[in-house]
Amino acid sequence: MEFILIHTPRGIMTPEMMAPALEMGKKLWEKPGDFVRGGKLVASYAARNKSLIVCVWDAPSAEALCPFVEQLELGGWDTDIMLAETFPAHLQRLEKTFKAMQK
């Protein structure tokens, strides 16, 4: 399953805060499975002039992302996790939900 993670720092990142985050990023790139068991980092985007990073992970489940997200939380980052899906799959899921609501 693919998940979209949006990371935002709590407050302004000082150089002292950025250094460990950069080291963690290097380790993550070398061995993503050490951070997300069974996971693969598919894509990453660091926004210019905004304090956010967007990553796409292929992971067995959202629970597999939890240890990684908890590490980030301790480092001062908040993370939103969303299921990534194609638009046809999204429409199919919404249609199923709508039908269940009508019962």
CATH number (domain holding residue 43): 3.30.70.1060
Per-residue pLDDT, averaged over 34-52, amounts to 91
Strand partners of residue 55: 5, 44
Return mean pLDDT, the chain: 91
Per-residue pLDDT, averaged over 14-40, amounts to 89
The amino acid that residue 59 corresponds to is A
d(CA 72, CA 55): 13
Q: pLDDT per residue over 67-83, tens digit each?
A: 999 999 988 899 999 99
Would you state the structure tokens that stand for residue 87, as one six-digit string?
């638009």
Residue 55 has pLDDT above 90, yes or no: yes
Residue 50 has pLDDT above 90, yes or no: no
Instruction: Give the structural domain span for 52.
Output: 2-102
For position 59, what pLDDT does the model report? 95
The amino acid that residue 5 corresponds to is L
* Count: domains in the chain: 1
Residue 95 has pLDDT above 90, yes or no: yes
Bridge-based pairing state of the strands 53-58 and 40-46: antiparallel
